[in-house]
Amino acid sequence: MNLPWHDQALAKLQQMIDQNHLPHALLITGNEKIGKFEFMQQLVGVLLNDDAVIRKDNILQELDHPVLIRRSNYPNMIYCRSGEINENTKNRSNEIRINQVRAFCEALNKTADQLQIGVIFYGDQMTVSAANSLLKTLEEPRENTLIIILAHNIQNLPATVISRCQNIHIAPSYSEPTQAWLKAQLSDTQNADFDIKQLLESTHGVPFKVLSELTEGGFIAYQEYQNQLLNIATHPLTINQTKLFDGNELAVLNCLQNLIIEAIKLKMTKQEGGLVELNQLVKCVKSDFLFQLLSDVYQAIYLSKTSVNLKLLLDNILIVWSHITHLKKYPQISANY
């Protein structure tokens, strides 16, 4: 599968391969659903000069019995993953446990004539003890061995693991090749109903997230939030008609964040976008107020991870949003809820 937003990272690795400078441990990072697993498969296909063998691995499927590591169709390749059933509790674990990593390291410590590959996904789900048990293998790997660690959030990995790996980051993408790829994945009806660029913006440049949101109906809800938010900004009295937002405060804040970012972009470039109501708002609003409101929305999203009363905080933000086009002075939104 050719994923255009992977091209830059793959080119970097191809250069390392050509110069015989490929490190013994790679850390592949990027947003969830950016395609890190697919990127790993593509890289292994290049290294083995065989794209088909690795594609036969059905490693993402959840097993109904306990395992520590899994084997690939390529005989010198193993996987260590979260989501396996714990052999002691018989429950499915969302962590990678120490006994899994120990089995992983033991398998890689065996001498192999051909390239030996070990993949951990996702590394940021290792327990502290599991990560520590990996260090010796990272420091003293066998010759002809490559360890690939996939991680959503690099900050959740110990510095000791990060420092022993070459980090390859897959960045979000809004490029024309990415848009063309995404358009090719959608049906004619979906392409008629949705703007590809806007879909990418709403998922912060993560194409696979666009596909999953469309499949699960997430964008229908997103459009409803967006329409209601724009209605509040153009008709302030409708601020009392927000029952749709109840229980969905974080999703509404994320939607509002995207609207404000788009408004700032239109304001700075002096262009018009595809949303008529947003174009009207941009003509009247002060740039400083948009930046201040965006900062408050960022803070609210951050506070959503705490015990804050998110509904009350969203209500206060919406009051400012409803008056954003005719504010004389930007009000202070208290975070003490």
Please name which of 173, 172, 165 lies closest in space to residue 137, comparing C-alpha atoms: 165
Position 144 pLDDT exceeds 70:
yes
Task: Tell me how far the alpha carbon of residue 245 is from its chain's centroid.
Answer: 24
Residue with tokens 């010796």: 136
Adjacency order of strands within the sheet including 116-121: 70-71, 77-81, 116-121, 145-151, 25-29, 166-169
State the DSSP H helix or E strand holding residue 147, giving kind and residue range, or none if neither.
strand 145-151
Position 252 pLDDT exceeds 60:
yes
Position 239 pLDDT exceeds 70:
yes
**Contact call for residues 12 and 178 (beta carbons, < 8 A):** no
Residue with tokens 């595809």: 274
Please name which of 37, 67, 48 lies closest in space to residue 150, comparing C-alpha atoms: 37
DSSP letters of 274-332? S-HHHHHHHHHS-HHHHHHHHHHHHHHHHHTTTT--HHHHHHHHHHHHHTTTS-SSPPP
CA 208 → CA 99, 178, 190, distances in Å?
A: 32, 11, 15
Which CATH number fits the domain 4-169, given the four candidates 3.90.470.20, 3.40.1410.10, 3.40.50.300, 3.40.605.10?
3.40.50.300
Q: What is the arithmetic mean of pLDDT over 284-297?
A: 95
**Contact call for residues 5 and 128 (beta carbons, < 8 A):** no
| Token digits of residue 230 | 């724009």
Task: Tell me how far the alpha carbon of residue 27 is from its chain's centroid.
Answer: 15
Domain range list for the chain: 4-169, 217-322
- In this prediction, residue 218 carries a pLDDT of 75
Model confidence pLDDT, tens digit, residues 92-129: 999 999 999 999 999 998 877 889 999 999 999 999 99
pLDDT-based confidence at residue 334 (cuts at 50, 70, 90): low
pLDDT-based confidence at residue 70 (cuts at 50, 70, 90): very high
State the DSSP H helix or E strand holding residue 234, giving kind and residue range, or none if neither.
helix 218-234
Q: Rounded CA gap, 135 and 63, in Å?
A: 28
Angle in degrees, CA 242, 243, 245, rounded to 5: 70
CA 337 → CA 23, 89, 248, 298, distances in Å?
A: 49, 39, 18, 16
| pTM for this predicted structure | 0.74
Position 337 pLDDT exceeds 50:
no
Q: 130-134, 217-221, 237-241 — which is least confidently predicted?
A: 217-221
Model confidence pLDDT, tens digit, residues 167-203: 999 999 999 999 999 999 999 988 887 889 888 887 8
Please name which of 219, 226, 171, 227 lies closest in space to residue 196, comparing C-alpha atoms: 219
Is 148 or 273 the better-scoring residue by pLDDT?
Answer: 148
DSSP state of 264: H
CATH architecture of 217-322: Up-down Bundle (1.20)
Position 217 pLDDT exceeds 90:
no
pLDDT-based confidence at residue 312 (cuts at 50, 70, 90): very high
Do 4-169 and 217-322 have matching folds?
A: no
Q: What is the arithmetic mean of pLDDT over 289-307?
A: 92
Position 336 pLDDT exceeds 70:
no
Q: What is the arithmetic mean of pLDDT over 234-243?
A: 89
Biggest CA-to-CA distance, the chain? 73
Q: 174-178, 255-259, 318-322 — which is least confidently predicted?
A: 255-259
